Structure 1
């Protein structure tokens, strides 16, 4: 009997170890999105050329910050807070990578990501902010906007998708709209991811030559390279006219993706004061065993073929 218990303990310890490794590998797999596959096969995984942050420090700090995000999530749920975070920046600035790391360990029912497509014909005739309002959080929720109503101040302005009257009305309306959100109890945080001309060029070239990333390059993305200066002017105007005390902009230096991720997550955590919510101890209930139950065999053709021997 003692040998059986020892074997069971050893088995479960081994399974827990594999679960922890799988969690770590989940983050490593996401790095494929940042580096060419052949770079990932080297000992340094391409890190020496890509970032000034030590690889081990980066992972340790990221996992620590993700643990704090879980505590923040518990606090938001407990206090019924409503949190909105806007992520803006040029194409390939790294917004999506930060959002992935924020949401990676969180409950998708509590922390959701909103990335709206181009407006439909009907939406173009609505009040400009109308299509964003249904996605705002209820109590106990966090909503991350991967691009937001600031499309009007950026791509719509540069590409001529709005006229001058609509553009000016946006700047008249958006401070009042955001103040209204804040008065309603929403915590609003706005991030602009800033990258240099050269860095965006490198990231675009990388996407062009990486079959796993080519889908990220839309015709609009390519046009944004042509209109770099126009986007710069639009960004400067946007920051100048919408940086208000109630809802300030926060600039993330994003040429180094890993630094940008850590800096953004750490700053986000600082914007919502929270404390750890003590949880009730969790214990698995004993499993019921029915001596009369016989497990029926399933037909072999129902099983997915086992191609891999890992």
Structure 2
């Protein structure tokens, strides 16, 4: 609970610390930005700081009774999807409504509730949360963490003090990542593959994600060259999780689209260079389909893995054939 904020989060921390010292800290905070940049880590550090008995400039003291309790502190509460689920249940948020009416255990202290990820609320759950946001208790601070704030109800966003977290400065991110990866060149590759998101790059490194992405690239390349059939490609992807596959595809399509629009190819993976002449409108249409599928998976929709992969590959073949260079379907 006393972990430090990350180097690229200093300005956000100073903003909140200044607001708190001046009595301007909102009862609800929305931390938003891309996944894999450390928003949850920041939120946990903020939770500890808000209930700390001797808060320091850069975080909780780590020594007081409140810090000693850690996540067992009765004034700290985390609302997140139950194990094995991707959606926050409405009953979990209703418990928050009851909690907000109670006083903090520490005299003069605060109760802090973390909702993560806030995107994992359906309409009923979000409406239940609105009741607390509309009638907040003076000693309760809600922290919402969101990768896609546009998916939240406008009424929720409007009732929160918003704190955006952009993709961090590349130099800061790389310096931090090198401490985990060790090798500078490998760290740079992981960071590039993760779209500049250092914590996502760290996970990619630790889970051997680079090899899995290379396999996805090589299988698609083999299909494009007519060296493997569609069924062989799908069989070759049987060890790849659907959410990983969709993330890989989304990253590759985004890089390709940027390169096509800007008429440059520096950031396009070598296996994708052959598609730099695809029509931008066709790529955009495919990207929408891909992102819609990824959003469904993130919401916990149970998609058929094989059919989803097959559908995407066939749709991509249509994009490629629109420029007279089809795939071997």
TM-score range, shorter chain: under 0.3
Structure whose CA Rg is larger: 1
If asked which structure has higher relative contact order (CA below 8 Å, sep 6+), I would say 1
- What TM-score, normalized by structure 1, do the two folds share? 0.24
